């Protein structure tokens, strides 16, 4: 996968017939594999050696686990990643937990990255050891002013170190893209740090949001997973035009995929 992504503009899950068990119960195929990946990563993180290489391997494990459950993944326009010559702010819509697990294996061959995440992700038992080692920017989602300061200061510091930032500006994961809920914090960070933004359109509702535990929803192989990268956008003036370009890119892709 590393070699494939490094050379190609697109990725398409290989065509193969799912097992009868995956067809019958894709969740029972995927979730044990997910647990194995997380437990291994947690052990590595607890001992302080969950680095980018191990993060990449863990992310590949998630991607392969999803494919073994029958999910097909398509990634478009990775030429953008080949051409990046500086860190950037990746800005995408947020449909499910799938993109958080899979994006690292797409981006890490090209860029060191981290995510803006909510506080609870560094408090979850087991999983916290992975997230802490990824040097995330942690926000409360309770105190907007403090969160804004954390993202601006922490994001700029990481970008200066050559670490790109992945931001999901929506307030929560949702299968419906509502532009009014898509804030401008990623654009403002990019402007402050003088780096471009790269839009990402994501259709990841094949991994549903659970009713009891949001991260453990229904796995639905009949829904293809799609990622698409837009061309880098430089931030001019107040960033309003860049923000609208990101929204338009995501809306157009989601409409095409529907």
Residue 5 has pLDDT above 70, yes or no: no
The pLDDT, as a whole number, for residue 23 is: 78
CATH top class, domain 2-257: alpha beta
CB 190 within 8 A of CB 232: no
CB 154 within 8 A of CB 137: yes
Residue 1 has pLDDT above 80, yes or no: no
The pLDDT, as a whole number, for residue 2 is: 52
* Nearest one of 1, 74, 61, 10 to 33, comparing CA atoms: 61
Domain boundaries, the chain: 2-257
Q: How far is residue 196's CA from residue 175's CA, in Å, rounded to a whole number?
A: 27
R_g of the chain computed on alpha carbons? 17
Q: 90-137, pLDDT tens digit by residue?
A: 999 999 999 999 999 999 999 999 999 988 888 888 889 999 999 999
**H-helix or E-strand containing 190?**
helix 185-193
Give the chain's count of helices (H) and strands (E): 10, 8
Predicted TM-score (pTM) of the model is 0.94
Least confident of 3-7, 208-212, 241-245: 3-7
The pLDDT, as a whole number, for residue 172 is: 81
Q: What are phi and psi of 118, to 5 degrees?
A: -80, 155
CB 114 within 8 A of CB 136: yes
Average pLDDT on 56-65 reads 95
pLDDT category, 140, cuts 50, 70, 90?
Answer: confident
């Amino acid at each position: 996968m590393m070699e494939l992504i490094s050379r190609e503009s697109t990725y398409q899950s290989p065509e193969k017939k799912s097992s009868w068990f995956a067809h019958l119960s894709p969740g029972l195929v995927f979730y044990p594999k997910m647990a194995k990946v997380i437990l291994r990563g947690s052990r590595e993180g607890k001992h302080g050696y969950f680095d980018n290489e191990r993060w990449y391997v863990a992310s590949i494990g998630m991607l392969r686990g999803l494919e073994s459950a029958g999910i097909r993944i398509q990634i478009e326009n990775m030429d953008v990643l080949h051409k990046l010559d500086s860190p950037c702010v990746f800005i995408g819509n947020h449909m499910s937990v799938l993109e958080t697990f899979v994006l690292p294996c797409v981006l890490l061959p090209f860029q060191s990255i981290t995510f803006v995440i909510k506080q609870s992700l560094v408090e979850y038992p087991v999983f916290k050891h992975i997230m802490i080692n990824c040097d995330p920017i942690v926000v409360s989602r309770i105190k907007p002013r403090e969160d804004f300061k954390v993202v601006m200061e922490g994001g700029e510091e990481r970008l200066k170190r050559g670490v790109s930032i992945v931001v999901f500006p929506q307030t929560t994961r949702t299968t419906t893209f509502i532009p009014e809920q898509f804030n401008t914090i990623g654009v403002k960070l990019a402007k402050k740090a003088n780096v471009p933004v790269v839009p990402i359109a994501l259709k990841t509702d094949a991994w549903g949001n659970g009713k009891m535990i949001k991260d453990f929803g229904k796995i639905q192989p009949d829904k293809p997973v799609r990622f698409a990268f837009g061309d880098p956008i430089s931030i001019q003036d107040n960033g309003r035009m860049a923000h609208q370009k990101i929204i338009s890119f995501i809306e157009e892709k989601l409409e095409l995929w529907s």
